[in-house]
Structure 1
Amino acid sequence: MRISIEDVHFVYPGGVEALRGVSLSIEPGERVAIVGQNGAGKTTLVKHLNGLLRPTRGRVRIGDWDTAQVEVHRLAQRVGYVFQNPDGQLFCRTVAEEVAFGPRNLGYTPEEISQRVAEALALAELEDKAEANPYDLSPSWRKMVALASVIAMDTPIVIFDEPTTGQDVRTIRRIERMIEMLSQRGKTILTITHDIDFCAENFERVVVMGQGRVLLDGPKEMVLGMEAILAQTYVEPPQLTRLGMRLGFEKTVCTSEQFLETLRRRLDHPQSDPRAEG
């Protein structure tokens, strides 16, 4: 399901202009990370995708739906949104009830709801916590409950708002596995994140925003290698990208696999490296 954002402007009631002519096209199945400093317009932009905000000017389309013409509850069939703070998203007495709430409100049959809940609990590693009260769980597990509740809705588009904030390494690895599984199922996945290393390891396309505009948009190897422009938004390239630059790698590396492969080739064939000496 294609996402089309066409010259979108948005002004908050107080007069703050948060978006200034944003245009993006996101194809079905893409994994896109949106980065930039606080106040860049990232959250404002993605809230236009599920109808929580409507453009002051311009148009947003999800498939053949214009979000300004479709109710929020209908857009929830196409766009799942995992908020940064799970406590603002959870309200049921048990984890299982929480995960079932979305598909139940979308009108699925009891059999379909049961299947979706079971799959989402398994994907989030929550099977043994199905009868627990979400607020008896740790913040990391509450995050997983929020993720599972959106995954159970089986929307073609899933948005993660700062998924790694305040999370330990184990939870981040769980989130990464969930993203990979959703991607294998053909879902379009967007994230807003300040975690540039997480971005580089899990997303193929990066959009950099600043002052309500798109400053950079493209494959991560291109975008994350543009150190000077990133610095304008107070975003640093990933650690391995910066290390590769300092080592004189000709190509931008973003992931540990890319870094190790480039380093291996350089060690195996030092004469082919124009920067090598001796």
Structure 2
Amino acid sequence: MIVVEDLHFGYNGKNVLRGIDFKMGREIVALVGPNGSGKTTFAKHLNGLLKPLKGKVVVDGLDTREHTVAELSKKVGYVFQNPEHMFFEENVFREVAFGPRNLGLSEEDVEKRVRWAIKAVGLEGFEERSPYSLSGGEKQRLAIACILAMKPDYLILDEPTTGLDARAEREVVSVIRSLQREGHGILLITHDMDLVVRLAERVVLLHGGEKVFDGSTEEFFTEFDVESYGLEKPEVVKLGERLGLGFTRNLDEIILKLEGRA
């Protein structure tokens, strides 16, 4: 469990986060809000990249103020928005192996972790490829594999589908779903409301450094005024409402509900 209590943080005397409380287990939580709302600043507190000025962040009993980023990264892995910023090795295998090797594991254990992580994201056969030769979706999946190889319990994915075509996005979505089924907690930072409705069980909205919503995805899109915060309901949600079907996440769900009426 990740527990955040009364989190405050700022840069150069300017408040960025104010009084945020938050709890997260092994679930998919979408962290949303306009640019400048504090999403990335908040997320960087969860693995110790930033430390609270006031309040505390505790990850499975570890207070982030008392532990290093290296220690916390074993619990919380962070996949940044631009995956290329994470790459510096000559091939995919070495890229994924970098983290486990830094943990001091034996080469046998490193190879097991690398093979497992590469398989988990569907990049088998890519081991000798240069990371920079991969497509956008493949790079994103490689970035996830690099973090997975550290075997964290929680993953933070910062805009994981930005700039991807439809096929690459489907690939990344499939990986995220499989990770959640395997028991990982996932914090999804995104502006993409379609991605939110497809994946998230819960939504947290930050605005002006404060938490203004924390509840189920259904409640967020059906009972909360998302438009007033510069967000828009996904078309599939609007269609379900127009058809009188209530909250709907995808077209398959709409079809099933319509067939149930027949």
Q: TM-score range by the shorter chain?
A: over 0.9
SS in 1 for 2:58: strand
CA shift, 1:63, in A, is 0.8
Corresponding residue for 2:157? Answer: 160
SS in 2 for 1:129: coil
Give structure 1 stretches of 5+ with no counterpart.
269-278
AA in 2 matched with 1:224 = F
How many residues are matched?
Answer: 262
Report % sequence identity. 41
Superposition map of 1:58-207 within 5 A: 58-207=55-204
The yes-or-no answer on 1:237 pairing with 2:236 is no
AA in 1 matched with 2:71 = R
CA distance in 1, matches of 2:4, 2:86: 26
Corresponding residue for 1:252? Answer: 247
The answer to whether the 8 Å contact 2:137/2:169 transfers is: no
CA shift, 1:149, in A, is 0.6
CA distance in 1, matches of 2:37, 2:223: 18
CA distance in 2, matches of 1:40, 1:212: 5
Corresponding residue for 1:273? Answer: none
Give structure 2 stretches of 5+ with no counterpart.
none
CA distance in 1, matches of 2:259, 2:224: 24
CA shift, 1:227, in A, is 5.0
Over residues 108-136 of structure 1, what are the superposed CA-to-partner deviations in whole Å (9 max), with x where a residue is unaligned? 22222111111111222222221122123
User: Larger C-alpha radius of gyration, 1 or 2?
Assistant: 1
Distance 1:257 1:205, change over 3 A: farther
Runs of 4+ in 1 over 6 A off after TM superposition: none
The answer to whether the 8 Å contact 2:7/2:17 transfers is: yes
The answer to whether the 8 Å contact 2:92/2:126 transfers is: yes
CA distance in 2, matches of 1:43, 1:260: 37
CA shift, 1:258, in A, is 3.1
Distance 1:202 1:143, change over 3 A: same
CA distance in 2, matches of 1:149, 1:56: 30
TM-score by length of 1: 0.89
CA distance in 1, matches of 2:98, 2:164: 25
AA in 1 matched with 2:167 = R
- Quote the RMSD (CA, aligned, Å): 1.5
